[in-house]
Amino acid sequence: MKLFKAKKLLAVIPVLLSMGIQNAVAATPAVMAKVKKSGKEFHKITKDEKNEILLPDSVYADDTRNFVFSEITDKTGFAAEVLYYISKDELVVKSSKADKSNIDTSMNAVSKIVRSVSKMKGMQYYSNSKKRYETLYSESYRVDNPENCNPIADDLSDSSDGKQIYIFQNEHTFGKAVYRVRYRENSKVISMKLNNVSNMYYGIIKAVDVDKCRIVVNIVDDGDGYFIYLGMRVDCSLPGFLEGKMTQSFQARLDALYNWITLQF
């Protein structure tokens, strides 16, 4: 009987592998509970360890996973995921608004926040090399298209679901670049996918080719607060002595994105 079950299991494995199920790992209830208590969990992804363990299960989870982590190779300079949790009560406390009696912490507010790309301007990040906070984006705004890059206002009307925008940013390390941003949304989850549509440079060195920097955001409402998932993959072409610095820099940017979201309420 045991031999029969073993043969049956072995027969299923090739099917699962062909479907990519070996990498389809959502955050377990235990992981979610741990993050809800600690507030943050970080996980680095490598070519040998591709399983995402922090992505909350949702209708957008597979699309999120495939977009950012489907191609982890020897050329991948950085790949990581981080899951945060913040209660709605804490969002009210963190708010810079003087009147905290009527702060909107609904998904409708979150939908507008993740489209307020102009508010990334002046966003701070912690520089591990210099041991101080510095400005991450000196410029950040929505543009009409990647070719002309004419500034236009943030699109905050209606739902974000199905919308696509382009944004121009002047970033501390990689300078000027244009990104495409795509959104999905329902009553419990908001998904945001970003990828560079222009090359990214480290000084005069071309560091990241088009579409080789991908970032994802999934925000899940659990009633009491929000699980905020951030994933990032960057294929870099940089000298080896800069890899450590870039890894620290990319990690700091994930924290900066989290702060950009949570400090807008």
Residue 21, pLDDT score: 36
Residue 166, pLDDT score: 98
Residue 239, pLDDT score: 67
Is residue 116 a contact partner of residue 264, using CB atoms and an 8 Å limit?
yes
Q: Please list the rounded mean pLDDT of every run of 10 residues in the chain (265 residues).
A: 42 33 69 97 87 93 95 89 97 92 95 97 85 92 97 97 98 93 98 97 90 97 98 83 73 90 95
- Two tokens, residue 36: 């809800």
124 in a domain, yes or no? Answer: yes
150 in a domain, yes or no? Answer: yes
Is residue 85 a contact partner of residue 226, using CB atoms and an 8 Å limit?
yes
Residue 252, pLDDT score: 82
Residue 246, pLDDT score: 74
In whole angstroms, what is the distance from residue 260 CA to residue 241 CA? Answer: 30
206 in a domain, yes or no? Answer: yes
37 in a domain, yes or no? Answer: no
6 in a domain, yes or no? Answer: no
DSSP for residue 28: P
Residue 122, pLDDT score: 93
80 in a domain, yes or no? Answer: yes
Residue 13, pLDDT score: 36
155, amino acid identity: D
pTM for this predicted structure: 0.88
Residue 238, pLDDT score: 66
172 in a domain, yes or no? Answer: yes
Domain containing 241 equals 43-262
In whole angstroms, what is the distance from residue 227 CA to residue 213 CA? Answer: 23
The CATH number covering residue 86 comes to 3.30.530.20
9 in a domain, yes or no? Answer: no
6, amino acid identity: A
Number of structural domains found in the chain: 1
Residue 37, pLDDT score: 97
